[in-house]
Structure 1
Amino acid sequence: MSAAAAAFAPGTVAVITGAAGGIGLAAARRFAREGMRTCLVDRERDALDAAVATIPGDTVGIACDVSDRQAVEALAADVAARFGAVSVLMNNAGVGGGGDTLSDRDGWDRLLGVNLFGVLNGVQAFVPAMIAHGGPALVINTGSKQGITQPPGDTAYNVSKAAVKALTEGLAHTLRTQTGDRVAAHLLVPGFTWTGMTARGRGDQPPGAWSPDQVVDFMMAGIAAGDFYLICPDNETTPEQDRLRIAWAAGDLIENRPALSRWHPDHAAAFAAYMEDGR
């Protein structure tokens, strides 16, 4: 087990944003089962209260808009006053639907405010104290495969998650330099997961999707092993398929193919053959 993974000890404190549902709520429940004291953070007060009611033990819900830097700084002060030092910070809050490159700027501002600056706000408000308190600690930032392979469609979302990947890689280096392996950062990259954001009004979980609990189980196993990249498969995408898609995306730069060649008409057949050969 990595040194930072000892942060999950009974009695330690976890802060989870986007915790009123989905992966955030599943993580909060898991942390509570580990005996941790949990602080659930979300923008929606009613949903937050309902989530807190499902978690036994020392649990509190604090409403906060993570895109508001001052609000997150106040959150950090409130958590410190109530609980003391934070050992696990999970920056998980996220939204979709920002739009393509030429879409309305308001959608971009809304999405980047939560998905990117919400993560940065959490890191800057909480991590200095996590370093200073001297015990094992870790940060989990929720990214996306869309931030790595960049599928066309919601470009704003892709940009936000690509930025979270870069931010978390840089944070991991900074923490390693300053603390060795005592404080660590991890990038959680879910696969197709059945959450409120992905359901989009559909009633039943599709066969291809993982549940949030499966994602959290995978996350915890990867952290225990010391993995930085926690890239989750699902019921329709294997780890090998993920590796092939990531390698193809990197190959666009190396081989000077057109941008997003996987979806380019001149390269689509080559990509399909590449995936078939790699299986």
Structure 2
Amino acid sequence: MTNVQSVFAKSNVAVVTGGASGIGLAAAKHFARLGMSVVLADLGGDRLAIARDQVIELAGGADEHVMAIETDVSDRESLEALERAVLQRFGRVHVLMNNAGIGPETSIFSPQANWDNILGVNLMGVINGTRAFGPNMLSHGEPGVIINTGSKQGITTPPGNPAYNVSKAGVKVFTEALQHELRNTEGSRITAHLLIPGFVFTGLTKGDRAEKPAAAWTSEQTVDFMMESLARGNFYILCPDNDVARSVDERRILWAAGDIVENRPPLSRWHGGYTEEFKAFLAAKD
């Protein structure tokens, strides 16, 4: 069994997609503080350049351990080019964090481009990243981790933005299958983990708000929780926030699964006929 903590050793290499902001940038900074070599992969522009400078500063001011590469995760060839560049520079990868994500609002009958963009980045970006980097991570024989960023919306699938929910539900299913395959691959020292953030104040969630709501965690809090969970060997990294405790998440997840078992209407939590029953279930202790 892989000692996950040993993966985050000085001079080991971490690749973070969506690394120019939010949780991805917070993770990249955390890895740099540990002395790791860090690769930021994101769309180009000022954000990526600024993020690179910030990570270099945390890496002691020298850029030999930091790369920033413009990458479109929805394009498999772009991720394959990223992997080639990383291997040429650093030789191998120990941490792959497939974190890039977008979340424009959709409905079932939204324009096709909206669906294609969300599924391309949020779901295929994770699949493409894993398939591009995974084989060489397995073959170099050293311990490593693949962290895929999911969402509670991919588990309880609340009404609104169905394309986002579908994409994150796919990330959950893919990452479960990935970990199953990794643990049944002879000689594998790579593990997979599903990061499930709570309400985090990032560019994806802040909307028109300039200040963090009291209910939200910062990206840094989320990364700290992720690292603590990885140290425990957790696969499901189910993050609370300042408004929702884990116990509430657990009841919501159980209720969502119960829709199938009890043959209730889909999304019954938001179905008027089940309002009081759900409230009672949420308040129950077991």
**Residues 136 and 9 of structure 1, relative CA distance in 2, 3 Å threshold:** same
Normalised by the length of structure 2, the TM-score is: 0.95
Q: Distance in 2 between matches of 1:204 and 1:216?
A: 20
Quote the offset at 1:177 in angstroms.
0.7
Partner of 1:14: 14
**Number of the residue aligned with 1:49:** 49
C-alpha distance in 1 between matches for 2:249 and 2:4? 27
- SS of match in other structure, 2:204: helix
In structure 2, the residue corresponding to 1:23 is in which secondary structure?
A: helix
Matched, 1:102 2:115: no
State the shift of 1:98 in Å: 4.8
What pairs up with 1:153-232 in 2 under 5 angstroms? 153-179=160-186, 182-232=189-239
Question: 1:180, 1:233 → 2: CA distance?
Answer: 34
Secondary structure at the counterpart of residue 11 of structure 2: coil
Partner of 1:150: 157
Do the aligned residues in 2 keep the contact of 1:98 with 1:111 (CA within 8 Å)?
A: no
Q: C-alpha deviations, 1:135-164, integer Å up to 9, x for none?
A: 000100000000000000000000000000
**1:251 correspondence with 2:258:** yes
| Aligned counterparts, 1:67-82, within 5 A | 67-82=74-89
Q: What is the rounded CA distance, in whole Å, between the counterparts of 1:141 and 1:128 in structure 2?
A: 16
Distance in 2 separating the partners of 1:210 and 1:63? 28
After superposition, the CA RMSD in angstroms is: 1.3
Give the secondary structure class of the aligned counterpart of 2:185.
helix
Aligned to 2:4: 4
Question: Which blocks of at least 5 consecutive residues in structure 2 are unaligned?
Answer: 60-64
**In 2: Cα distance, 1:179 partner to 1:121 partner:** 23
In the alignment, which of 268, 275, 280 is matched to residue 261 of structure 1? 268
On the 8 A contact 1:2/1:223 being kept in 2, the answer is no
Q: Does 1:123 align with 2:130?
A: yes
Structure 1 position 252, deviation (Å): 0.4
**1:32-82, Cα deviation, whole Å (9 max, x unpaired):** 111100000111321011011111322111011100111111111011001
Normalised TM-score (structure 1): 0.97
Residue 61 in structure 1 maps to residue 68 in structure 2: yes
SS in structure 2 at match of 1:74: helix
Equivalent residues of 1:131, 1:179 under 8 A apart = no
Structure 1 residues 241 and 181, CA, compared in 2 at 3 Å: closer, same or farther?
A: farther
Cα-to-partner distance string for 1:113-156 (whole Å, 9 max, x where unaligned): 00000111100100000000000001000000000000000000
Check the 8 A contact 2:2/2:191 in 1, yes or no. no
CA–CA separation in structure 1 for the residues paired with 2:129 and 2:28: 17
- More divergent stretch after superposition (6-15 vs 98-107): 98-107
Paired AA for residue 21 in structure 1: S
Secondary structure class of the residue paired with 1:61 = strand
Q: 1:88 aligns with which of 77, 86, 95?
A: 95
What amino acid does structure 2 have at the position aligned with 1:151?
P
1:5 to partner: Cα distance? 3.2
Once residues 187 and 238 of structure 2 are traced to their aligned partners in structure 1, the CA distance between those partners, rounded to angstroms, is 23
Question: Partner letter of residue 16 of structure 2?
Answer: I
Quick one: which amino acid aligns to residue 52 of structure 1? R
Following TM superposition, by how much is the alpha carbon of 1:100 offset from its aligned partner in structure 2, in angstroms? 1.8
Gaps of 5+ in 1: none
Return structure 1 stretches of 4+ with deviation > 3 angstroms. Answer: none
- Aligned partner letter, 2:232: A
Percent identical pairs in the alignment equals 52
Number of aligned pairs?
279
